[in-house]
Amino acid sequence: MNWPRALLTDSGGFQMVSLLHLADITEKGVTFQSPVDGKPMLLTPEESIQIQNKIGADIIMALDDVVKTTITGPRIEEAMHRTLRWIDRCIAAHKRPHDQNLFGIVQGGLDPVLRDICVRGLVDRNLPGYAIGGLAGGEDKDSFWRVVAQCTATLPEDKPRYVMGVGYPLDIVVCSALGADMYDCVYPTRTARFGTAIVPEGVLKLKHKAMAEDTRPIDPTCACMVCKNYTRAYIHSLVTKDAMGSQLLSFHNLYYMMQLSRNLHSSIVQGKFPEFVCNFLQKMFPKGDIPEWVCNAMEVAEIDISSCCAPFRYIQATKVQSNLNEDEIQAV
């Protein structure tokens, strides 16, 4: 790849389960259909680590037994215990512990008891970092933040916490408030390919007819190459029709996410994190209609966002907003 900077590889587990048919998980490993020739293949913890050792990334992930959070029942407990048994196999198979950092992944569904057992088990193994897995799979936001909060409260303070599959800017801000450090998500580039830009107010759908005459940049506050040089109208003419449209939007969206990370970091370092959060929420919810789950999470995180909430907000019962990327942006 000729990439001189940091690299992280995933174990392959999630991709197999989410992208392929007939994935069958046993104690040995994950059996799946090869996408090349349809033949059954088995990915074991040992093999996953071996492949990751060869690729040589700086951070590698343990092979875990992933279940969807929307599933209930004994399968979740089984997966959590298996994840712990597999971490030992991963550790044993890891041939390059001095150049590659093996992160364990906390599973346990939405059950705090199971999550706690898993956290303790992984912390006992004294790994270089810990991921919070099994989330970002369509579970309701109220359950989501509570799992993250529980994990960040019990995982070691001096090791990175990586919330896998997150995500939307709002989710990242909340998880960061709760003490998470690292994230990964397909969202910025995937939504770009569908013609959607990430902006401070939420999203901007460039495909919309109104964009054809809009000569403003995607985000006037953004300093990226795309916002400095192109109008919404031009991007509109490209999206979903020309590869360049996907490229330019991906560029902007990734820049946005990196700027968000930078701002989170510097606001924490400067002791201005609560102001940053309020500012962020005000732009996204100008009417003060911040979702209840965000308010609850911020309360636990001890971040005062009352200045951004509409009055009597916390008294009313409200629907949880979980799909921000479906909101139409109105003319700013």
Which residues are bridge partners to 161 per DSSP?
130
Minimum Å gap between C-beta 223 and another protein is 14
Q: CA–CA separation, 252 vs 303, rounded Å?
A: 29
Stretch that binds another protein, among 134-142, 174-182, 226-234, 296-304 (CB under 8 A): 226-234
Q: Alpha helices of the chain — where are they, by DSSP H? A: 13-19, 45-55, 74-93, 112-124, 141-154, 169-177, 187-193, 225-229, 232-238, 243-269, 273-284, 292-300
Stretch that binds another protein, among 60-68, 69-77, 165-173, 238-246 (CB under 8 A): 238-246
Q: Which of the residues 183 through 222 are near another protein (CB under 8 A)?
A: 212-213, 215
Residue 10 catalytic?
yes
Q: CA–CA separation, 40 vs 59, rounded Å?
A: 28
Q: How many CB atoms lie within 10 A of CB 235?
A: 25
The strand pair at 196-199 and 202-205 is best described as: antiparallel
Q: Is 70 in the site for another protein (CB under 8 A)?
A: no
**By the 8 A CB rule, do 57 and 7 touch?**
yes
Q: Is 258 in the site for another protein (CB under 8 A)?
A: no
Query: Which residue's CB is nearer to another protein, number 212 or number 310?
Result: 212
Unique residue bearing structure tokens 């759908």: 205
Helices 273-284 + 169-177 axis angle, to 10: 150
Minimum Å gap between C-beta 95 and another protein is 23
Stretch that binds another protein, among 50-58, 143-151, 233-241, 260-268 (CB under 8 A): 233-241
Amino acid at 228: K
Q: Is 244 in the site for another protein (CB under 8 A)?
A: yes
Among 21, 98, 228, 319, the residue binding another protein under the rule CB under 8 A is 228
Q: Which residues of 142-178 are buried (b: 16+ CB within 10 A; e: fewer)?
A: ebbbbbbbbbbeebeeebbbbbbbbbbbbbbbbbbbb
Query: Which residue's CB is nearer to another protein, number 134 or number 245?
Result: 245
Q: Is 248 in the site for another protein (CB under 8 A)?
A: yes
Query: Which residue's CB is nearer to another protein, number 228 or number 319?
Result: 228
Q: Is 314 in the site for another protein (CB under 8 A)?
A: no
Please give the residue ranges that form the binding site for another protein (CB under 8 A). Answer: 1-2, 212-213, 215, 225, 228-231, 233-234, 236-238, 241-244, 246-248, 251
- Catalytic site residues? 10, 184
